[in-house]
Structure 1
Amino acid sequence: MRRRNSMETDDFYLSEKGYRVFTEAYHLKRGYCCESGCRHCPYGYDPKTNHQ
């Protein structure tokens, strides 16, 4: 059985389809917006307008 480390529980979770979904905590630790339209972006980026 695979053990989970703290990064897995704090920084992302797996979606129903098996994709990694990064949490708001991960984005804040990274320190900047990647402008990819992430689901939990704390920086307010809007991919429709391409602005924060």
Structure 2
Amino acid sequence: MTGQNFGNKLTEGEDYYLTPEGYKVFTEAFHLKRGYCCKSGCRHCPYGFDKRTGTNRK
């Protein structure tokens, strides 16, 4: 996310949540706010990207 400027700081519970292992997981709302698919196979990708096939499902 280097070089990105979203204007506001990230809000826990809205933009991301922490897993029991301590990982930060971005929410669907964050991805929509960002406005594009990063093609990393994110857990809550609203763009439907499938990392295994390299295609969008939606």
Q: Which has the larger radius of gyration?
A: 1
RMSD: 1.5
Map of 1:1-52 to 2, 5 A cutoff?
A: 7-52=11-56
**Normalised TM-score (structure 1):** 0.85
Q: Please list every run of 5 or more consecutive structure 2 residues that lacks an aligned counterpart in the other structure.
A: 1-8
* Structure 1 residue ranges, 4+ long, deviating more than 2 angstroms after superposition: none
Q: Please list every run of 5 or more consecutive structure 1 residues that lacks an aligned counterpart in the other structure.
A: none
Larger RCO (CA within 8 A; separation ≥ 6): 1
Tell me which protein shows more strand as a share of its residues: 2
Percent of aligned pairs sharing the same letter: 62
**Normalised TM-score (structure 2):** 0.76
